[in-house]
Structure 1
Amino acid sequence: MKFVIKSISKNSGRLGQLRIKESKELQTPLLLQTTKGGSIPYLSAEVFELLSQDHQQMLQLTLSTMEQMSESLAQWNRSLSDYVGYPGYNTLLLLRDPCETTPTGGNDRDVVPLFTRHGKESLTAARYLDIVANFAPDVYQGLCDADTNPESTKKRVQKSVDRTERFMEQCYEQHSKLERLKDSTLLAPIVGGYSTFARTQSIKHARQQPAGSYGGYILEGFHTNGLAATELKPAQLLPIVEHCVQQLEEEQLRLMPGAYTPLLLLELIRLGVDVFDTSYAYCAAVNYKALTFSYVQDKDEHAAFLDVTDEAIKEDFKPLLKDCSCLACQKHTRAYIHHLYKTHELLGPILLMIHNLHHYMSFFEAIRVSMAADRLPELIEHVRMQNATTEVNYRIEPNNKVVGKAAMGKGFIAAAV
């Protein structure tokens, strides 16, 4: 993997290019496509190709949703992207699913818990590397204890750093010895909760490794994934991230997985974080929300979301978002998608996912254009206010709709339970 910085601005963050093996160059800030079980949620590969034909793509796969595939992948002699039905795509393997809340606890001196649909599995560093070798992804994260959040105690934070150092000693040692990982890039995890001291300790351990031991950083341990990431307070998170970024080499890639709000994401980009994912778009869709915030300067007032459960749109024959060119908005109305919700049809979340992914990918295109013109602060302010008099709230409220037994497992309901 090769990462090259194209430009750096004090006000607008940094633009870069990422090349993995012989693939096309990916522009950063980069948006990873979050998957579940190796698939884009609710979409077939053919539909996603129609949706993403003008956008660069890289798949974010998670061991918590794919661990059961390890044995069959050990016998697979082609690429991981071929196995999941997206040939030619670059792949990045994470330990945890950023779309779902990760249960706390289960950590021990020598193991990290992996929560799968089959229950909890305890991973040692050796076991983790064996599984990752079966997957043979293009990029993968090192094993870490990231079970921290804004409420974590000083003792819990320090344990996460100490354990991560022990895990990573084995990861660095074994990475170069495993034949199936010879073409894979390791990302060094930076943990330490909201302690600048602990974060510095984690960074020092990574930077003490021989040159070429890893190809970038993944900043973990800020939240427990899922909707928790949408609730983070910028005043609490941003100083910690800025502290970390100031100690990291400029030439190394920086990744932060999680459903950060669009406004917080922009602030992280301004600080110098390079790679994010689409978990925010997914979390909005499964909670009945279409993304409607504006990323183009205008004078109209905009809302962060459209709630498709709202009875007020049952006879609203406009698209989810005015002037949106996605497949959902071009062919369907708010009233129809509200009807799909009322009748528990599977097409409902499919259309919402199509719209939200299209909107978020276009948002990242606008981000890169703004950064190239050194106008990211203007975009941040527009996203913050949306031409309203008060700051827009991008927090995703969990779906608390009452679900009848007859509707269980159907359409939107399947996403809500």
Structure 2
Amino acid sequence: MKLELSRVAQGGWRLGVLKELGKTRRHTLEVPGCLLYTRCGTVPHLTQDTLNTLRNLPPVTQVTLSTIAEHQEVLEEFKDGFRKFAGLHDTVLYCSLHDPATACRTGHITNKTVSVWGSGGRIELTVAKFMALQKAVQPDWYQSMADGETWQTDTSRKRVRKSVDRTLAHLDEILLIHHKTQELQGLDVFGVVEGGDILEERVRSARETAKRPVAGFCLDSLQTGSMDQVLRTQLITAVTKELPEDKPRLLQGVGRPDEVLACVEAGVDLFESFFPFQVTERGCALSFNFDISSDPERAVLEMGEESGTAGDSQENGAVNPDDQTQMTSFEIDLKDERYREDFRPLVEGCGCYCCRSHQRAYLHHLLVTNELLAGVLLMIHNTAHYHAFFSALREALAHDKLDLLKRRVLNRGGDGQEEISPLEGGDKGE
């Protein structure tokens, strides 16, 4: 893969295109951007035909070893890789270690192994088993093994240092096997940057990982709930200074819009798009404003009106750090009785099938009666809305409107969305 940057802020955000993706080297992915989140190769609640009704989806599909490791024997017997096995066809396949929408269990890391959890329980992975899985899955790029059990704030410095050492040792073994294995030629490996909340270890991990022949970097143990956004931004800023500019940086476990904006400003290129799924599971709909097409006079007026609250992400998107299942202020809870007779679309101006064809009252009815269609319609909307947000983010960077976008997103969240204006930046092309 090859990263071409068109605009770069000093020590901050990057705008560009990730080119030559996949074995055919013909796919591209705009950055900042996100991957398509799946579970065992399927976007939750959606069939492949339903998913194909959505436009402007990323060309990179994420699968996780936590959901497919237990199928290793089947994939080895199939021989043609997971993409063909799951009917994914024309997509770039990225294989990560853990499911970002599921909390990782701790206490099962050794010097030689890491563990993932499938439907049948814990699966312990040595480097040899990990690489055998990559041969069976045949992804286009994959994340190296890592000891990521340092996201808790009370982790000792000694434990964090051991995490960095183990992760680097795993990477060295994996690269050695990778370059000797014919079936893995042409695949890209992402090194993992660990270090918990200790700045010195983060920097050391980044420097050492950057010395290895990796195609990009995964920033791990910085997920939502692990630390406050100020500390996360400081660590990411320090890490990205140690990484080469021509290789992409993928942040794991962060999906909230306010956190995405802060991390993009710190130099992150790619994100995992699990947040729409979490919102859907709560019976909620994403409903935040990212319209940056307003006329200049209106923008100046709103700048004055919002100057007292702009950037207050703790108030406008905060969650309980110990409970990532809590509703955020970027969504509306359609199970609430207030929506029983609300005949508006989820978001005015949104072009997704759900907003074009159904009202909030209908979604409320489906949710309170436990109809499976509720998850389908919510996932359609939440996926379209979230990816349209990333399109607006890239447009804002290209036209020097990032401050305007931040005011829109950070000050127009959740139930405060009842009177939002149409989303000119939404997905209207379906």
TM-score (norm 2): 0.84
Superposition pairs of residues 106-121 of structure 1, within 5 angstroms: 106-121=108-123
The percentage of aligned residue pairs carrying the same residue is 29
Q: Is the 8 A contact 1:267 1:380 kept in 2?
A: no
- 1:73-125 deviations in Å (ceiling 9; x for gaps): 22345453222222110010000000111111111111111111111121111
Letter in 1 for 2:39: K
Q: Distance in 2 between matches of 1:231 and 1:289?
A: 23
Superposition pairs of residues 37-76 of structure 1, within 5 angstroms: 37-51=40-54, 53-76=55-78
Alignment partner, residue 237 of structure 2: 242
Alignment partner, residue 22 of structure 1: 25
Q: Distance in 2 between matches of 1:354 and 1:232?
A: 31
383, 388, 393: which one aligns with 1:357: 383
Alignment partner, residue 344 of structure 2: 318
- 1:235-272 deviations in Å (ceiling 9; x for gaps): 12110010001111101110012243101101111121
Change (3 A) 1:309 1:2: same
Change (3 A) 1:387 1:285: closer
Alignment partner, residue 310 of structure 2: none
Q: Is the 8 A contact 1:11 1:377 kept in 2?
A: no
RMSD over equivalenced CA pairs, Å: 2.1
332, 348, 351: which one aligns with 1:306: 332
Alignment partner, residue 138 of structure 2: 136
Q: Give the SS at the match of 2:206.
A: helix
CA positional deviation for 1:24: 2.9
Alignment partner, residue 321 of structure 2: none
Q: Distance in 2 between matches of 1:379 and 1:11?
A: 20
CA positional deviation for 1:57: 2.4
Alignment partner, residue 256 of structure 1: 251
Q: Distance in 2 between matches of 1:22 and 1:220?
A: 27
Q: Distance in 2 between matches of 1:155 and 1:282?
A: 36
Q: Distance in 2 between matches of 1:363 and 1:335?
A: 25
- 1:150-177 deviations in Å (ceiling 9; x for gaps): 4122222112112112211201111111
Q: Give the SS at the match of 1:176.
A: helix
Q: Distance in 2 between matches of 1:231 and 1:205?
A: 24
Superposition pairs of residues 8-407 of structure 1, within 5 angstroms: 8-10=8-10, 13-19=13-19, 20=21, 21-51=24-54, 53-78=55-80, 80-151=82-153, 152-209=155-212, 213-223=213-223, 229=224, 232-297=227-292, 304-386=330-412
- 1:283-308 deviations in Å (ceiling 9; x for gaps): 11101110001011466999621101
Letter in 2 for 1:5: L
Give the gaps of 5 or more residues in structure 1: 224-228, 391-417
Give the gaps of 5 or more residues in structure 2: 295-301, 307-315, 317-328, 417-430
Q: Distance in 2 between matches of 1:120 and 1:249?
A: 36
Change (3 A) 1:294 1:203: same
Q: Distance in 2 between matches of 1:179 and 1:281?
A: 38
Q: Is the 8 A contact 2:222 2:254 kept in 1?
A: no
Q: Is the 8 A contact 1:161 1:202 kept in 2?
A: yes
TM-score (norm 1): 0.86
Q: Distance in 1 between matches of 2:395 and 2:361?
A: 34
Q: Is the 8 A contact 2:193 2:218 kept in 1?
A: yes
Letter in 1 for 2:46: L
Q: Is the 8 A contact 2:210 2:242 kept in 1?
A: no
CA positional deviation for 1:231: 7.0
- 1:181-225 deviations in Å (ceiling 9; x for gaps): 11210001000111111112212322333xxx21000011224xx
Q: Is the 8 A contact 1:134 1:180 kept in 2?
A: no
Letter in 2 for 1:43: L
